């Protein structure tokens, strides 16, 4: 079943700078969360493929690449058997933390602190 989470936060930057930090600097602000780990092998390196339509990928230490971010099946270990609404709520809470981290990155990197 497709599902979406919408989380919004004002950040200390204009739209272009915020987008650049979100995409190009994801490794600087992303915080792994063991609750939503997609593999038992730990976290990998996150990156967006360049250009319009670029996918979010996670490259593990052994070179394997994970790309199924928008289609995590209901039986996947990252869902912990949560009903869809609970999973979405928990995922939204995690994204709120991530966006706070992004905002902190923008403020620190751009000299606003």
What per-residue confidence (pLDDT) applies to 101? 92
What's the predicted TM-score (pTM) here?
0.75
For residue 62, is it within any domain? yes
CA dihedral 37, 71, 47, 17 (to 10 degrees): -110
For residue 6, is it within any domain? no
pLDDT higher than threshold 60 for residue 2: no
Domain that holds residue 65: 15-109
Where are any strands of DSSP class E within 1-113?
45-48, 56-59, 65-66
> What is the number of other CB atoms lying within 10 angstroms of the CB of residue 75?
7
> What is the number of other CB atoms lying within 10 angstroms of the CB of residue 49?
12
3-class secondary-structure state, position 46: strand
Residues 62-99 pLDDT 10s = 898 877 766 667 777 777 778 888 888 888 888 899 99
Average pLDDT over residues 33-55: 79
For residue 2, is it within any domain? no
Residues 22-43 pLDDT 10s = 999 998 888 877 777 666 667 7
For residue 10, is it within any domain? no
Q: Which residue is it, tokens 């058997």? A: 81
């Amino acid at each position: 079943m497709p599902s979406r989470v919408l989380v919004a936060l004002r950040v200390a930057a204009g739209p272009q700078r915020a987008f650049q930090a979100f995409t190009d600097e994801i490794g600087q602000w992303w915080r792994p969360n063991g609750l939503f780990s997609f593999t038992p092998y730990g976290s990998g390196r996150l990156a967006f493929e360049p250009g319009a339509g670029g996918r979010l990928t996670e490259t593990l230490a052994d070179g394997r690449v994970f790309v199924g971010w928008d289609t995590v099946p209901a039986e996947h270990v990252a869902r912990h058997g949560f009903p869809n609404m609970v999973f979405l709520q928990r995922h939204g809470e995690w994204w709120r933390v991530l966006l706070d981290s992004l905002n902190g990155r923008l403020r620190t990197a751009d000299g606003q602190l």
